[in-house]
Protein backbone atom coordinates (compact mmCIF):
# COMPACT_ATOMS: atom_id res chain seq x y z
CA UNK A 1 0.00 0.00 0.00
CA UNK A 2 3.04 2.25 0.07
CA UNK A 3 4.42 4.48 2.78
CA UNK A 4 2.16 6.67 4.90
CA UNK A 5 2.84 10.27 3.96
CA UNK A 6 3.46 12.77 6.75
CA UNK A 7 3.34 16.56 6.85
CA UNK A 8 4.87 18.29 9.87
CA UNK A 9 3.95 21.81 11.02
CA UNK A 10 6.72 23.19 13.20
CA UNK A 11 10.42 22.39 13.35
CA UNK A 12 11.48 23.62 16.76
CA UNK A 13 12.88 21.41 19.50
CA UNK A 14 10.06 18.86 19.35
CA UNK A 15 9.75 18.97 15.56
CA UNK A 16 13.44 18.21 15.17
CA UNK A 17 13.10 15.28 17.57
CA UNK A 18 10.17 13.94 15.56
CA UNK A 19 12.09 14.10 12.27
CA UNK A 20 15.12 12.38 13.79
CA UNK A 21 13.01 9.64 15.40
CA UNK A 22 10.94 8.99 12.26
CA UNK A 23 14.16 8.16 10.39
CA UNK A 24 14.10 4.86 12.29
CA UNK A 25 10.81 4.03 10.55
CA UNK A 26 11.45 5.20 7.00
CA UNK A 27 10.18 1.88 5.63
CA UNK A 28 6.72 2.84 6.96
CA UNK A 29 6.51 6.63 6.67
CA UNK A 30 7.68 9.36 4.37
CA UNK A 31 7.95 13.00 5.46
CA UNK A 32 6.60 14.85 2.44
CA UNK A 33 6.55 18.43 3.72
CA UNK A 34 7.67 20.41 6.78
CA UNK A 35 6.36 23.91 7.51
CA UNK A 36 8.74 26.30 9.25
CA UNK A 37 8.57 29.93 10.26
CA UNK A 38 12.01 30.84 8.89
CA UNK A 39 13.38 29.00 5.86
CA UNK A 40 16.88 30.36 6.47
CA UNK A 41 17.24 29.15 10.05
CA UNK A 42 19.85 26.45 10.62
CA UNK A 43 18.23 23.22 11.91
CA UNK A 44 19.80 20.72 14.28
CA UNK A 45 19.17 17.81 11.89
CA UNK A 46 21.90 16.07 9.90
CA UNK A 47 21.29 15.76 6.15
CA UNK A 48 17.95 17.52 6.26
CA UNK A 49 16.36 17.66 2.81
CA UNK A 50 15.63 21.39 2.65
CA UNK A 51 13.60 20.98 -0.54
CA UNK A 52 10.68 19.71 1.58
CA UNK A 53 10.62 22.85 3.75
CA UNK A 54 7.96 25.50 3.27
CA UNK A 55 7.01 28.66 5.09
CA UNK A 56 3.36 28.21 4.09
CA UNK A 57 1.74 25.60 6.39
CA UNK A 58 -1.44 25.58 4.30
CA UNK A 59 0.58 23.76 1.63
CA UNK A 60 0.61 20.83 4.06
CA UNK A 61 -3.04 20.79 5.11
CA UNK A 62 -4.16 21.19 1.47
CA UNK A 63 -1.78 18.55 0.05
CA UNK A 64 -4.03 15.72 -1.18
CA UNK A 65 -1.19 13.17 -0.87
CA UNK A 66 -0.55 13.71 2.86
CA UNK A 67 -2.25 11.17 5.16
CA UNK A 68 -1.26 12.52 8.59
CA UNK A 69 -0.65 16.13 9.68
CA UNK A 70 1.66 16.44 12.69
CA UNK A 71 1.30 19.77 14.51
CA UNK A 72 4.13 20.69 16.89
CA UNK A 73 4.17 24.46 16.45
CA UNK A 74 2.17 25.29 19.60
CA UNK A 75 -0.19 28.15 20.34
CA UNK A 76 -3.76 28.64 19.21
CA UNK A 77 -3.38 30.75 16.08
CA UNK A 78 -2.80 29.72 13.36
CA UNK A 79 -2.73 26.13 14.68
CA UNK A 80 -6.51 26.01 15.12
CA UNK A 81 -7.21 27.19 11.58
CA UNK A 82 -4.63 24.80 10.18
CA UNK A 83 -5.92 21.71 11.96
CA UNK A 84 -9.52 22.58 11.23
CA UNK A 85 -8.67 22.80 7.52
CA UNK A 86 -6.65 19.57 7.66
CA UNK A 87 -9.61 17.75 9.20
CA UNK A 88 -11.96 19.17 6.58
CA UNK A 89 -9.56 17.73 3.99
CA UNK A 90 -9.82 14.28 5.58
CA UNK A 91 -6.40 14.13 7.22
CA UNK A 92 -5.64 12.42 10.51
CA UNK A 93 -4.01 14.61 13.17
CA UNK A 94 -1.20 14.13 15.66
CA UNK A 95 -0.62 17.12 17.93
CA UNK A 96 1.35 18.08 21.03
CA UNK A 97 -0.66 21.28 21.50
CA UNK A 98 -2.20 21.28 25.00
CA UNK A 99 -3.43 24.87 24.83
CA UNK A 100 -5.25 24.28 21.55
CA UNK A 101 -6.96 21.14 22.86
CA UNK A 102 -7.99 22.80 26.13
CA UNK A 103 -9.52 25.78 24.34
CA UNK A 104 -10.82 24.30 21.08
CA UNK A 105 -10.72 20.54 21.51
CA UNK A 106 -14.49 20.12 21.52
CA UNK A 107 -14.86 21.77 18.11
CA UNK A 108 -11.92 19.89 16.59
CA UNK A 109 -13.08 16.50 17.87
CA UNK A 110 -16.60 17.11 16.60
CA UNK A 111 -15.24 18.00 13.18
CA UNK A 112 -13.02 14.91 13.23
CA UNK A 113 -16.03 12.74 14.04
CA UNK A 114 -17.96 14.15 11.09
CA UNK A 115 -15.02 13.57 8.74
CA UNK A 116 -14.13 10.12 10.15
CA UNK A 117 -10.58 11.07 11.02
CA UNK A 118 -8.63 10.56 14.25
CA UNK A 119 -6.90 13.13 16.47
CA UNK A 120 -4.12 11.69 18.66
CA UNK A 121 -2.40 13.83 21.29
CA UNK A 122 -0.34 11.71 23.69
CA UNK A 123 2.42 14.35 23.78
CA UNK A 124 0.03 17.14 24.78
CA UNK A 125 -0.41 16.06 28.39
CA UNK A 126 2.80 14.72 29.90
CA UNK A 127 5.52 14.78 27.25
CA UNK A 128 7.15 11.38 27.11
CA UNK A 129 4.91 9.75 29.74
CA UNK A 130 2.35 7.42 28.13
CA UNK A 131 -0.96 8.20 29.84
CA UNK A 132 -3.73 8.88 27.30
CA UNK A 133 -3.57 5.57 25.45
CA UNK A 134 -3.39 3.57 28.71
CA UNK A 135 -6.52 5.33 30.03
CA UNK A 136 -8.39 4.70 26.78
CA UNK A 137 -7.28 1.08 26.42
CA UNK A 138 -5.93 -1.05 29.27
CA UNK A 139 -7.62 1.08 31.98
CA UNK A 140 -10.91 1.23 30.12
CA UNK A 141 -12.50 -1.13 32.66
CA UNK A 142 -11.97 1.40 35.46
CA UNK A 143 -14.11 4.18 36.84
CA UNK A 144 -11.43 6.82 37.43
CA UNK A 145 -12.36 9.39 40.08
CA UNK A 146 -9.07 11.15 40.84
CA UNK A 147 -6.17 12.47 38.77
CA UNK A 148 -3.31 14.25 40.52
CA UNK A 149 0.06 15.12 39.16
CA UNK A 150 3.08 17.27 38.61
CA UNK A 151 2.60 18.26 34.99
CA UNK A 152 5.10 21.07 34.48
CA UNK A 153 8.83 20.47 34.59
CA UNK A 154 9.82 24.14 34.77
CA UNK A 155 7.92 24.85 37.97
CA UNK A 156 8.98 21.56 39.52
CA UNK A 157 12.62 22.39 38.77
CA UNK A 158 12.25 25.85 40.31
CA UNK A 159 10.61 24.55 43.49
CA UNK A 160 13.19 21.76 43.79
CA UNK A 161 16.12 24.17 43.53
CA UNK A 162 14.52 26.67 45.92
CA UNK A 163 14.30 23.80 48.41
CA UNK A 164 17.80 22.39 47.86
CA UNK A 165 19.60 25.76 47.72
CA UNK A 166 17.42 27.75 50.15
CA UNK A 167 17.18 30.28 47.32
CA UNK A 168 14.59 32.85 46.29
CA UNK A 169 12.12 32.30 43.47
CA UNK A 170 13.69 35.16 41.46
CA UNK A 171 17.22 33.74 41.75
CA UNK A 172 16.22 30.21 40.74
CA UNK A 173 14.03 31.43 37.88
CA UNK A 174 17.00 33.29 36.43
CA UNK A 175 19.15 30.14 36.69
CA UNK A 176 16.40 28.07 35.06
CA UNK A 177 16.25 30.52 32.15
CA UNK A 178 20.02 30.38 31.72
CA UNK A 179 19.87 26.55 31.65
CA UNK A 180 17.02 26.53 29.14
CA UNK A 181 14.48 25.05 31.58
CA UNK A 182 12.42 28.25 31.58
CA UNK A 183 11.40 30.50 28.70
CA UNK A 184 12.43 34.15 28.47
CA UNK A 185 8.76 34.86 29.21
CA UNK A 186 7.97 32.09 31.75
CA UNK A 187 4.36 33.15 32.38
CA UNK A 188 2.78 30.07 30.80
CA UNK A 189 4.68 27.80 33.17
CA UNK A 190 5.06 29.72 36.43
CA UNK A 191 1.49 31.04 36.49
CA UNK A 192 0.08 27.53 36.00
CA UNK A 193 -1.41 27.91 32.51
CA UNK A 194 0.55 24.97 31.05
CA UNK A 195 -0.48 22.60 33.84
CA UNK A 196 -4.09 23.82 33.63
CA UNK A 197 -4.33 22.99 29.91
CA UNK A 198 -2.97 19.53 30.63
CA UNK A 199 -5.22 18.67 33.58
CA UNK A 200 -8.30 19.78 31.60
CA UNK A 201 -7.43 17.30 28.84
CA UNK A 202 -6.53 14.54 31.29
CA UNK A 203 -9.68 14.98 33.35
CA UNK A 204 -11.85 14.97 30.23
CA UNK A 205 -10.40 11.63 29.17
CA UNK A 206 -10.37 10.09 32.65
CA UNK A 207 -13.91 11.13 33.62
CA UNK A 208 -15.54 10.72 30.21
CA UNK A 209 -16.99 14.23 30.47
CA UNK A 210 -15.82 17.46 28.93
CA UNK A 211 -14.04 19.83 31.32
CA UNK A 212 -14.02 23.51 30.41
CA UNK A 213 -10.75 25.43 30.82
CA UNK A 214 -12.69 28.51 31.92
CA UNK A 215 -14.08 26.53 34.88
CA UNK A 216 -10.63 25.43 36.05
CA UNK A 217 -9.03 27.25 38.99
CA UNK A 218 -5.42 28.24 38.34
CA UNK A 219 -2.71 29.66 40.59
CA UNK A 220 1.04 29.71 39.94
CA UNK A 221 4.20 29.61 42.05
CA UNK A 222 5.35 33.24 41.83
CA UNK A 223 4.30 34.01 45.43
CA UNK A 224 6.13 31.05 46.96
CA UNK A 225 9.06 32.24 49.08
CA UNK A 226 12.17 30.50 50.34
CA UNK A 227 10.77 30.94 53.83
CA UNK A 228 7.57 29.13 52.85
CA UNK A 229 9.64 26.19 51.67
CA UNK A 230 11.71 26.26 54.86
CA UNK A 231 8.65 26.32 57.13
CA UNK A 232 6.95 23.60 55.09
CA UNK A 233 10.00 21.40 55.60
CA UNK A 234 9.91 22.01 59.35
CA UNK A 235 6.29 20.91 59.41
CA UNK A 236 6.95 17.77 57.33
CA UNK A 237 5.98 18.92 53.82
CA UNK A 238 7.36 19.75 50.39
CA UNK A 239 5.77 22.43 48.19
CA UNK A 240 4.76 21.31 44.68
CA UNK A 241 2.61 22.74 41.90
CA UNK A 242 -0.17 20.16 41.78
CA UNK A 243 -2.68 19.67 38.99
CA UNK A 244 -5.72 17.96 40.43
CA UNK A 245 -9.08 16.65 39.22
CA UNK A 246 -11.65 14.77 41.29
CA UNK A 247 -15.10 13.50 40.41
CA UNK A 248 -17.60 13.05 43.25
CA UNK A 249 -20.40 10.50 43.50
CA UNK A 250 -22.84 12.99 41.95
CA UNK A 251 -20.65 13.46 38.87
CA UNK A 252 -19.44 16.94 39.86
CA UNK A 253 -15.81 17.71 39.04
CA UNK A 254 -13.27 19.68 41.06
CA UNK A 255 -10.46 20.62 38.65
CA UNK A 256 -7.63 22.99 39.56
CA UNK A 257 -3.94 23.84 39.53
CA UNK A 258 -2.19 25.49 42.47
CA UNK A 259 0.77 25.04 44.83
CA UNK A 260 0.25 22.53 47.63
CA UNK A 261 2.07 21.37 50.72
CA UNK A 262 2.58 17.67 50.05
CA UNK A 263 3.49 15.37 52.99
CA UNK A 264 7.11 14.27 52.67
CA UNK A 265 6.11 10.61 52.74
CA UNK A 266 3.76 11.06 49.75
CA UNK A 267 5.20 9.80 46.46
CA UNK A 268 4.60 13.15 44.70
CA UNK A 269 6.82 14.89 47.26
CA UNK A 270 9.71 12.83 45.90
CA UNK A 271 9.25 13.91 42.27
CA UNK A 272 12.02 16.45 41.70
CA UNK A 273 13.64 18.65 39.06
CA UNK A 274 12.02 18.48 35.58
CA UNK A 275 10.42 15.07 36.13
CA UNK A 276 6.61 14.81 35.77
CA UNK A 277 4.22 12.37 37.39
CA UNK A 278 0.54 11.44 37.05
CA UNK A 279 -1.43 9.52 39.70
CA UNK A 280 -4.77 7.91 38.89
CA UNK A 281 -7.28 6.50 41.36
CA UNK A 282 -9.89 4.16 39.95
CA UNK A 283 -12.01 1.10 40.53
CA UNK A 284 -10.98 -1.71 40.36
CA UNK A 285 -7.30 -0.84 39.82
CA UNK A 286 -6.83 1.32 42.93
CA UNK A 287 -4.04 3.91 42.82
CA UNK A 288 -1.34 3.84 40.15
CA UNK A 289 1.33 6.30 39.04
CA UNK A 290 3.09 7.12 35.77
CA UNK A 291 6.32 9.09 35.94
CA UNK A 292 9.05 10.25 33.58
CA UNK A 293 10.27 13.18 31.49
CA UNK A 294 7.43 15.59 30.80
CA UNK A 295 9.13 17.60 28.06
CA UNK A 296 12.22 17.78 25.90
CA UNK A 297 13.16 16.92 22.34
CA UNK A 298 13.19 13.14 22.44
CA UNK A 299 10.76 12.38 25.29
CA UNK A 300 8.05 14.40 23.55
CA UNK A 301 9.06 13.03 20.15
CA UNK A 302 8.61 9.52 21.61
CA UNK A 303 4.92 10.22 22.23
CA UNK A 304 4.38 12.02 18.92
CA UNK A 305 5.97 9.26 16.88
CA UNK A 306 4.12 6.62 18.91
CA UNK A 307 0.86 8.28 17.83
CA UNK A 308 2.03 8.45 14.22
CA UNK A 309 2.87 4.73 14.19
CA UNK A 310 -0.47 3.86 15.80
CA UNK A 311 -2.20 5.62 12.91
CA UNK A 312 0.13 4.04 10.35
CA UNK A 313 -0.97 0.59 11.51
CA UNK A 314 -4.58 1.41 10.57
CA UNK A 315 -4.64 4.10 7.89
CA UNK A 316 -5.58 2.61 4.50
CA UNK A 317 -6.32 -0.72 6.21
CA UNK A 318 -9.73 0.01 7.70
CA UNK A 319 -12.61 2.37 7.06
CA UNK A 320 -12.83 3.27 10.76
CA UNK A 321 -9.32 3.49 12.29
CA UNK A 322 -8.60 3.41 16.03
CA UNK A 323 -12.15 3.46 17.41
CA UNK A 324 -10.99 3.25 21.04
CA UNK A 325 -8.89 6.41 20.69
CA UNK A 326 -11.71 8.59 19.41
CA UNK A 327 -13.52 11.23 21.43
CA UNK A 328 -17.08 10.16 22.27
CA UNK A 329 -17.94 12.68 25.00
CA UNK A 330 -21.50 13.91 24.93
CA UNK A 331 -21.70 15.60 28.35
CA UNK A 332 -20.00 18.60 29.93
CA UNK A 333 -19.21 18.07 33.60
CA UNK A 334 -20.61 20.34 36.25
CA UNK A 335 -17.60 21.82 38.04
CA UNK A 336 -17.12 23.31 41.48
CA UNK A 337 -15.91 26.86 41.88
CA UNK A 338 -12.88 27.18 44.17
CA UNK A 339 -15.10 28.78 46.84
CA UNK A 340 -17.14 25.57 47.02
CA UNK A 341 -14.13 23.34 47.66
CA UNK A 342 -12.91 21.91 50.96
CA UNK A 343 -9.20 22.11 51.81
CA UNK A 344 -6.58 22.32 54.51
CA UNK A 345 -4.44 25.46 54.54
CA UNK A 346 -0.97 26.66 55.47
CA UNK A 347 -1.02 30.31 56.56
CA UNK A 348 2.03 32.42 57.40
CA UNK A 349 1.29 35.56 59.43
CA UNK A 350 3.31 38.44 60.80
CA UNK A 351 1.89 39.37 64.19
CA UNK A 352 2.49 41.67 67.13
CA UNK A 353 4.45 39.73 69.76
CA UNK A 354 1.93 40.00 72.53
CA UNK A 355 0.29 37.52 74.91
CA UNK A 356 -2.82 36.02 73.39
CA UNK A 357 -1.86 36.62 69.72
CA UNK A 358 -2.17 32.94 68.83
CA UNK A 359 -5.40 32.78 70.77
CA UNK A 360 -6.82 35.61 68.64
CA UNK A 361 -5.89 33.69 65.46
CA UNK A 362 -7.63 30.63 66.87
CA UNK A 363 -10.70 32.66 67.80
CA UNK A 364 -11.01 34.10 64.30
CA UNK A 365 -10.67 30.66 62.75
CA UNK A 366 -13.16 29.16 65.19
CA UNK A 367 -15.68 31.87 64.32
CA UNK A 368 -15.59 30.60 60.73
CA UNK A 369 -15.71 26.89 61.64
CA UNK A 370 -12.00 26.32 61.01
CA UNK A 371 -9.92 24.06 63.27
CA UNK A 372 -6.16 24.49 63.70
CA UNK A 373 -4.03 21.33 63.54
CA UNK A 374 -0.47 22.74 63.69
CA UNK A 375 0.96 26.01 65.01
CA UNK A 376 4.55 27.22 64.69
CA UNK A 377 5.84 30.50 66.10
CA UNK A 378 9.22 31.77 64.92
CA UNK A 379 11.47 34.76 65.26
CA UNK A 380 9.94 36.86 68.06
CA UNK A 381 12.01 40.03 67.84
CA UNK A 382 11.49 43.78 68.31
CA UNK A 383 7.89 43.22 69.27
CA UNK A 384 7.11 41.19 66.11
CA UNK A 385 6.58 37.48 65.55
CA UNK A 386 6.04 35.07 62.70
CA UNK A 387 3.24 32.57 63.17
CA UNK A 388 2.55 29.63 60.85
CA UNK A 389 -0.65 27.62 61.19
CA UNK A 390 -2.02 24.61 59.36
CA UNK A 391 -5.76 24.18 59.49
CA UNK A 392 -8.05 21.21 59.44
CA UNK A 393 -10.42 20.64 56.53
CA UNK A 394 -12.64 23.65 55.90
CA UNK A 395 -14.60 25.41 53.21
CA UNK A 396 -12.67 27.80 50.95
CA UNK A 397 -15.34 30.46 51.33
CA UNK A 398 -15.03 30.26 55.12
CA UNK A 399 -11.28 30.61 54.84
CA UNK A 400 -11.62 33.76 52.73
CA UNK A 401 -13.93 35.25 55.36
CA UNK A 402 -11.46 34.38 58.11
CA UNK A 403 -8.65 36.07 56.19
CA UNK A 404 -10.72 39.25 55.98
CA UNK A 405 -11.13 39.22 59.75
CA UNK A 406 -7.41 38.63 60.16
CA UNK A 407 -6.66 41.67 57.99
CA UNK A 408 -8.79 43.78 60.31
CA UNK A 409 -7.17 42.47 63.49
CA UNK A 410 -4.94 44.77 65.56
CA UNK A 411 -2.66 41.82 66.34
CA UNK A 412 -2.13 40.46 62.81
CA UNK A 413 -0.02 42.87 60.78
CA UNK A 414 0.33 40.92 57.52
CA UNK A 415 -0.84 37.69 55.90
CA UNK A 416 2.34 36.59 54.15
CA UNK A 417 1.22 33.32 52.56
CA UNK A 418 -1.77 31.08 52.00
CA UNK A 419 -1.08 27.66 50.47
CA UNK A 420 -3.43 24.68 50.34
CA UNK A 421 -2.33 21.40 51.91
CA UNK A 422 -2.77 17.99 50.25
CA UNK A 423 -5.06 15.69 52.22
Residues annotated catalytic, as ranges = 198
Q: What is the CA radius of gyration of the chain?
A: 24
Query: What is d(CA 101, CA 123) in angstroms, rounded to the nearest whole number?
Result: 12
Query: What is d(CA 279, CA 301) in angstroms, rounded to the nearest whole number?
Result: 22
Q: What are phi and psi of 392, to 5 degrees?
A: -80, -175
**Rounded-to-10 torsion of CA 318, 322, 324, 329:** -100
Among candidate residues 200, 222, 172, 7, the one with its CA nearest the CA of residue 94: 7
Give strand pairing partners of 283.
143
* CA distances (Å), origin 119, targets 74, 386, 414: 15, 53, 50
Among candidate residues 307, 279, 301, the one with its CA nearest the CA of residue 203: 279
| Burial annotation 45-84 (CB, 10 A radius, 16+ → b, else e) | beebeeeebbeebeebbebeebbbbbbbbbeeeebbebbb
User: 101: which residues sit within 8 A by CB, 6+ positions away?
Assistant: 95, 108, 121, 124, 197, 201
Q: Where are the beta strands (DSSP E) in 284-371?
A: 286-293, 334-335, 342-352
Amino acid sequence: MGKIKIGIIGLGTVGCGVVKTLRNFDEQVEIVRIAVHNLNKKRNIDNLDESILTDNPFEIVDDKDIDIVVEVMGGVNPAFQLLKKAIENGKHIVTANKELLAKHGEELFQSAKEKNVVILYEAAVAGGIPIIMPIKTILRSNKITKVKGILNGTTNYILTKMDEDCASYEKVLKEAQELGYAETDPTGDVEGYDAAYKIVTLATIAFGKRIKIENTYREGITKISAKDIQRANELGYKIKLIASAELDENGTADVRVHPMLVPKEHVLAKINNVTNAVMLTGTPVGEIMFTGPGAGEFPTASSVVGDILALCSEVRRTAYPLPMMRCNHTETAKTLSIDETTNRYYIMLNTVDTPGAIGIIGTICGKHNINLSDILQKGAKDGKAEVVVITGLCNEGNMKNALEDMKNSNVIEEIKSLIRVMN
